[in-house]
Each structure stands twice: as structure tokens, then as C-alpha cells.
Amino acid sequence: MLLSILDSFHDSEYCYADRGVVISDNDGIEAFPSSSTSEWPSIRQEEKWWLPFPKVPPSGLSEDSRKRLQQCRECTHQILKAAMAINSNVLAEMEIPNAYLKSLPKCGKDCLGEGMYRYLTADQFFPECLLDYLDQSSEYTTLEIANRVEASVHIWKQKYSKRHSLRAKVGKSSWGGKVKGFVGDIETTKVLAQRAETLLQNLRLRFPGLPQTSLDVSKIQHNKDVGQAILESYSRVIESLAFNITARIDDLLYVDDATKQRASATAELMPVNEPGQIGAAPPIQRRILPSPFSYQRSLAGATSAMGASNDSDEIDESPDRRTCQLITNGNLRDALAGSLERLAF
């Protein structure tokens, strides 16, 4: 099924470009960031900066293409959950290697630390509150917490099994009634193991994609059952492939959403109809109040028009009337200049 999903990705509307590469096409020149400081808030892309950057059309993916991607993601996610369940069951059925048990410390408190041990031994135990208290800022710290809690579980289980068998022997002896405190220690060890196991289960529920712990790695290395080895490795390969396909589809859908939002924001800023198009509405004309400079230009235009009219009337006039009219025009220019000075000041 995963191979058929991979084969269905050919002839797609999107493509991939390496980071830091400038691509020139019909839509213009587009540059892709080369570092993890881009505006792409994807944790996978920040950690795996070498992955190519998905590129979609300027208007985004079509509805059919997006619907097909979502269907592929749902199918791949179901395969991922099935592979994770199979892998977890196979690892749980494997025997715990003696090399792992010998490498554990003698005391669960030394393995957990003072703060976590104090929460586990309190009268009231709330695993969710303890998980909120612990540092889970990165995958490394979360995996380290899982390794410590899982190691403490097996430390206390070993102590409980040893003390329980010793209790059975002591009960048959003549001095069995003198070890009441020893029985209390057995029950305390059992409760601590149960609490640590509950904490580990809640941690895995909160982080379903948590990598394999030290115990899982040790089981895989020291496993002698061929059938379990084949089933575990095959499910792990399918899990890895399904996870990568789901992650790439999520990144592509995120880029498509961002592209469509940017395109809609650009469309809102652009005018609805451009002048010159058929059926386009006339452009909206704003009324602009006249300024003193425009009033000055209108007066100068009126003056020049009057002067041109007077010049055209001077063809059949006598020299005396012409001289008189020039004087009159000069007085008119002086009057207009005075009016402009009053308007300006």
C-alpha cells in the first residue's frame, strides 16, 4: 500500500527545490531559504534542514489534488499506527537481556534522581502533574526520562520478586513472625514499581513518536528468536516509511495553506476591475479641494487668454488705441498680481 501511495505522486502540481536555490519561471523569480530561520514553523524542517522545500503554484493546489493528498495522508497514518502497534507488541514479547539487568544501578532512587523519587514516594501520586514538572523541552531529554523511569521499573520488579520469594521461605521457618517490617518493604517496592510503570505509560501516550529506549535497543541486539527479529525489523521499516510520507504530506499541505492565504491577501489589496476592460466600472474619482497654486495657475491662464483675445482684436486698430489698450492691460496685470499676493499671505 505504501508503494502504491508513492507511485501516485507522479505528475503532480507541486515540486521540490533545494534550499538556497533561486528558481526563475514564468511567475517570476523565487528564492528558497537555506537555513532553519525561515518563516516555516515546522519542527521537522528545523531539525532536518537538508530536506528540499516544497513549491506549489501561486494560487495553491487545486481541490482535487488537495483532497487526494489528504486521503493519502489518512491511509498512511492508519498504516503507521498499525506498524507502531505491531512493533511495540513484538518488543514487549522479547525477553529482557541479562546484560541490561546487570547494567542497572542497585537503587531506583539513584536512577530517578531526588526530585522524581520524591514525587513517586508521596502519599498522593498524579502522573500527569509529574510529567508537567519534568523537563520535556527536547526529544533527547524526554527519551532520557523514559530510560530512567523504565530502568527504575525493572529495578523495583527485581527487588519485589527476590523479596517475595524470600518471604515465602521465611514464612515456613520458626521465626517468620519477626519480619513484619520486611513485609512492609515488599509492598512499598511493589507500589513504586506500579507507579513508575504508570508514569512510563503516560509518557508514551503523551509522546507517541518517542524513539526506542535503551531496553528496546538491548532487546533487539540480544534477541535470539528469528521470527521476532524479522517481524520487528519489518514493522520498524514500515513505520519509518509511513512516518516520512505523513510528514512530507503535512509539510506540503502547510505550504499550500500559506500560499493560499498570501494569494487571498494580495487579491484583497488589488482593485476588483481595471480601467479599459469590457464591462469594467469607471474608476472612482475623488474630489480634490483647490489649492492656492491651482488658483494662481487659473488666474494666469485667464490673463493669457485675455491678452491673446486683445491681440487678435488689434489688427484693425489704430496705433493710438493700441497704446492705450497696452496700458490698460498693464494695469490689469498689476491688479491681478496684487490679488495673488493677498491670497498667498
HEC secondary structure over 90-121: HHHHCCCCHHHHHHCCCCHHHHHCHHHHHHHC
97 phi and psi angles, rounded to 5 deg:
-65, 145
Q: Minimal CA–CA distance to 322: which of 333, 330, 311?
A: 311
Cβ atoms of 210 and 150 within 8 Å: the answer is no
Cell numbers for 293, please give them: 497654486
CA 269 to chain centre: 27
Task: Please list, residue by residue across 110-140, b when 16 or more beta carbons sit within 10 angstroms of its beta carbon and e when fewer do.
Answer: ebbeeebbebbeeeebebeebbeebeeeeee
Alpha-carbon distance 47 to 287, whole Å? 57
pLDDT given at position 284: 44
Confidence (pLDDT) at 180 = 52
Alpha-carbon distance of 314 to 305, in angstroms, equals 14
Q: Three-class SS of residue 53? A: strand
Residues pairing with 23 in the sheet: 30
Closest-CA residue to 51 (of 32, 27, 68): 32
Residue 40: the pLDDT is: 40
Res 322: pLDDT: 43
Read off φ and ψ for residue 28, nearest 5 degrees.
125, -165
* Spatial CB neighbours of 242, under 8 Å, sequence gap ≥ 6: 2, 76, 77, 79, 80, 83
- The per-residue pLDDT string of the chain (345 residues; one tens digit each, 9 = 90 and over) reads 888 888 888 878 888 887 655 444 544 444 445 444 334 444 444 556 778 888 888 888 888 889 999 999 999 999 999 999 999 999 999 999 999 999 998 888 888 888 888 888 888 889 888 888 888 888 899 999 999 999 999 999 888 888 767 666 665 554 555 555 555 677 888 899 999 999 999 999 998 888 899 999 999 999 999 999 999 999 999 999 999 999 999 999 998 898 888 888 887 776 655 554 544 444 444 444 444 444 444 444 444 444 444 444 444 444 444 444 444 445 555 555 555 555 444
pLDDT of residue 209: 81
Question: Positive or negative, the Cα torsion across 213, 218, 221, 222?
Answer: negative
Is this structure's pTM higher than 0.75? Answer: no
Domains of the chain: 1-15+40-94+239-267 (1.20.58.2010), 95-171+195-222 (1.20.58.1310)
